[in-house]
């Protein structure tokens, strides 16, 4: 994964000063990947003040050597449970105060460790690694650019071949096929393809309803480029243009463009959300925009920070967020437009580049 993981572990060590811990046991597999470069699962990472140890099993011995050279390993032998390996590691490292990931470690595992090591002081933390992940480094940003390219190419391919008799499910499946064809690991999440009234469901599941059954279709998709994700939404007009659809579309697009323009270092997340919410509210559709404006993006498709009401996070260079306002009218349908935006030192950069002006989303 490049030489970035050691730098990330150093940042985590500095974060351990607040809980005054000798080490942290990282049990969230995504966080293990972030800190080590290892892309498998069923592995824990102990980050000490003076080093680190990755606890895994024989299935991954070769992969570990390839993906995270230089990281000390403890490969569990057949029959040795993770608990046994953790206890042995903590004893040999003489850890007195251990930080754990409260959002990941089960209560059962915590209690078992405490029972095996009654003198160990266990302190529960929340979001230590996730807060580090909010700010992307150069490698991560480039990986997200690539994930965006995979998504853009796949969308262009399915749009060019879109037929009225295709079902939502067929389009969703074809999207994933095209993402893989262009080089992605696969879809970052199950693609949302929702025609007409079903577009009023922000997280609609693709069905056997045909694309030609309504005058427009909402498509929410993203690519997993290998580790990092992209996330986009577009509405395509497939039938006769209705004044209502055009009006709502233009309101949503205006809200999105204004919110993107407000993104820069030092701005509070809730204030960006408010920009879009005000545009939609002034147009009379405020109660039909029921979700936050956006979310962080990276190794996971939903991570910190959030752009939403009452979110006090101050935007910093390196953060990547989605900007996805929407209007959803039950029984009629919905419009959402979404792009991935990087906070830069001087403002922002839109990482995704799929056409979205109203005249550009008409499918002939």
Among candidate residues 275, 247, 281, 287, the one with its CA nearest the CA of residue 341: 275
Rounded to the nearest 10°, the torsion over CA 140, 142, 143, 148 is 130
Three-state secondary-structure class, residue 191? coil
- pLDDT tens profile 25-72: 999 999 999 999 999 999 999 999 999 999 999 999 999 999 998 899
Q: How far is CA 92 from the centre of its chain?
A: 37
4 pLDDT more than 90: no
pLDDT of 195 above 70 = yes
Rounded Cα distance, 158 and 178, in Å: 8
Neighbours of 179 (CB within 10 A): 29
Reply yes or no on whether the pLDDT at 1 is more than 50. no
In CATH, the number for domain 138-360 is 3.90.230.10
Flag whether pLDDT at 274 surpasses 60.
yes
Q: What is the Cα–Cα distance from 154 to 143, expressed in whole angstroms? A: 17
Which tokens sit at 104?
């990941």
Give the SS3 label for residue 362.
Answer: strand
Angle between helices 138-160 and 168-181 (to 10 degrees): 130
Q: How confident is the model over 203-252, as pLDDT tens digits?
A: 999 999 999 999 999 999 999 999 999 999 999 999 999 999 999 999 99
Could you report the per-residue pLDDT of 302-341, keeping only the tens digit for each? 999 999 999 999 999 999 999 999 999 999 999 999 999 9
In sequence order, the 6+-apart residues with CB closer than 8 A to the CB of 46 are 23, 24, 25, 26, 52, 53, 54, 55, 86, 89, 90, 93
Question: If phi over 0 gives left and psi between -120 and 50 gives alpha, with beta otherwise, what is residue 82?
Answer: alpha
What is the pLDDT, as a whole number, of residue 60? 95
* Banded pLDDT at 3 (limits 50, 70, 90): low
Backbone angles phi, psi at 201, to 5 degrees: -95, 110
**Is the pLDDT score of 300 beyond 50?**
yes
C-beta of residue 353 within 8 angstroms of C-beta of residue 220: no
Q: Which residues contact 345 (CB under 8 A, 6 or more apart)?
A: 265, 317
Identify the CA nearest to 357 among candidates 238, 244, 237, 262.
237
pLDDT at residue 364, as a whole number: 76
Predicted pLDDT at 356: 98
Q: Which CATH class is domain 4-133?
A: alpha beta
Tell me what the mean pLDDT of segment 262-266 comes to. Answer: 98
Percent of the chain beyond pLDDT 70?
A: 99
pLDDT for position 187: 98
Domain segments of the chain as ranges: 4-133, 138-360
Identify the bridge partners of residue 349 per DSSP, sorted by sequence position: 342
* Secondary structure of residue 31 in the 3-state scheme: helix
């Amino acid at each position: 994964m490049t030489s970035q993981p050691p730098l990330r572990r150093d940042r985590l060590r500095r974060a351990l000063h607040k809980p005054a811990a000798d080490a942290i046991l990282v049990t969230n597999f995504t966080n293990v990947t972030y800190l080590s470069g290892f892309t498998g699962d069923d592995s824990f990472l102990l980050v000490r003040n003076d080093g680190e140890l990755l606890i895994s099993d024989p299935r991954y011995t070769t992969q570990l050597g390839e993906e995270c050279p230089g990281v000390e390993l403890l490969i569990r032998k057949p029959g040795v449970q993770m608990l046994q390996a953790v206890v042995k590691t903590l004893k040999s490292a003489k850890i007195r105060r251990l930080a754990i990931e409260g959002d990941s470690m089960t209560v059962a595992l915590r209690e078992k460790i405490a029972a095996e090591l009654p003198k160990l002081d266990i302190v529960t933390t929340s979001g230590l690694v996730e807060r580090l992940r909010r700010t992307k480094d150069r490698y991560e940003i480039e990986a997200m650019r690539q994930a965006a390219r995979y998504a853009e190419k796949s969308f262009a391919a399915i749009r060019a071949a879109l037929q009225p008799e295709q079902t939502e499910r067929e389009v969703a499946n074809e999207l994933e096929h095209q993402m893989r064809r262009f080089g992605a690991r696969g879809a970052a999440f199950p693609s949302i393809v929702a025609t007409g009234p079903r577009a009023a469901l922000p997280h609609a599941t693709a069905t056997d309803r045909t694309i030609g059954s309504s005058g427009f279709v909402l498509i929410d998709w993203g690519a997993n480029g290998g580790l990092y994700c992209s996330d986009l939404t577009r509405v395509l007009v497939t039938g006769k243009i209705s004044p209502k659809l055009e009006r709502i579309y233009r309101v949503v697009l205006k809200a999105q463009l204004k919110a993107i323009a407000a993104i820069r270092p030092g701005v509070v997340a809730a204030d960006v959300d408010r920009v879009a919410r005000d545009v939609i509210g002034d147009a009379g559709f405020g109660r039909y925009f029921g979700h936050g404006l956006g979310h962080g993006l990276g190794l996971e498709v939903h991570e910190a920070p959030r752009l939403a009401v009452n979110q006090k996070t101050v935007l910093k260079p390196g953060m990547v967020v989605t900007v996805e306002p929407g209007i959803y009218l039950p029984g009629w349908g919905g419009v959402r437009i979404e792009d991935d935006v990087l906070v830069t030192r001087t403002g922002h950069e839109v990482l995704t580049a799929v056409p979205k002006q109203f005249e550009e989303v008409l499918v002939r």
